[in-house]
Amino acid sequence: MKLRYKLLSLVVCALFSTNVLAANGSSDPIKVAINDWTGQHLTAHITAQLLQKAGFNIELVTAGTVPQLAAIAQGNIHLQTELWDNNVGDIYHKAVEDGEIIVVGPLGLQAREGWMYPGYMEEKCPGLPSHTALIECAQAFAGPDTFPKGRVITYPASWGTKSKDLIEAAELPFQPVAGGSDGAMIAELKAAYAANEPSLMMFWAPHWLHAELDMKWVDMPPAHQNCGSEPEHGFSPDHVNDCGFEQANVLKIVWHGFGDKWPGALNLVEALNIDNDTQNRLMLEVDIKGRALEEVVTEWIDANESVWADWVAAAQ
């Protein structure tokens, strides 16, 4: 009788678990895209672990930034937790317009790309972070190889020429110096920072560097759709094409059939929110301290139930 009771209990529990999952989505695995940078890996793994807590089966699928879009539109990948919409091309916009890809909403990251400087430079250049002040004290950012012009470390040449183009268009008193790689750029910045020397660099956020160093952003004129024809929008009233850099939206996107197949999972994805401070700190643990990404993600989840509990509850 005792054994029969235990077996009956197991059957009831199994049926209950199956019914809960059936009510909230299919038992088929949700295929989550994995791209090629640490921040996206963290976001994807956090989401995957939380979906598993809610009872869903998960499969992580490695995919390129652009190739993943066709896979999502066709239902071969179901979820991208961190899409930067300034680097996806026309295929993304067409898929969204055609209803093949659904934009769930912003992830919570405040993406930024532009020129940044160490906080101590504000003593040497009063008026920062204003771009007007930056121009007026360009010599404070000069190096021996650029004097009297200020020195700007730009992206490696293979990444494009945004800073160089802006400097030329606005006739700014700065000399662009291309970094050899992101590692070389960071090494140069750290050396300048340690010596309290001038530094101005094209960079982006989120990034672990912001969790380690006190860096500030230059306030540039915002990007404008008419910047190429109307001079009043940029650095100078006498030039065109001299606005600041267009900023990305960081979005959660899914296959168009996601909500019908996994309605509970969609609720969780809608609630999911990751901010810059969180991602910066976790990237520092992985990229600089050399810890395993899965370990860092699990540690964050264990320590932050108050953050994600409502997200998981929304899926159940």
Average pLDDT over residues 67-86: 96
Whole-number pLDDT of residue 1: 40
Tokens of 66: 């652009």
Q: Rounded to the nearest 5°, which phi and psi values hold at 256?
A: -60, -20
Q: Where are the beta strands (DSSP E) in 46-97?
A: 58-62, 79-84
Map out the domains of the chain with their CATH numbers: 25-109+249-315 (3.40.190.10), 112-233 (3.40.190.100)
Comparing 66 with 196, the larger pLDDT belongs to: 196
Strand partners, 81: none
CA angle 5, 10, 12 (to 5 degrees): 95
**pTM for the full model?**
0.80
pLDDT at residue 47 tops 80:
yes
pLDDT at residue 244 tops 50:
yes
Distances (CA, A) of 216 to 34, 183, 219, 285, 290: 30, 20, 9, 22, 26
Average pLDDT over residues 260-265: 98
Whole-number pLDDT of residue 66: 87
Helix (H) or strand (E) holding 215: strand 215-217
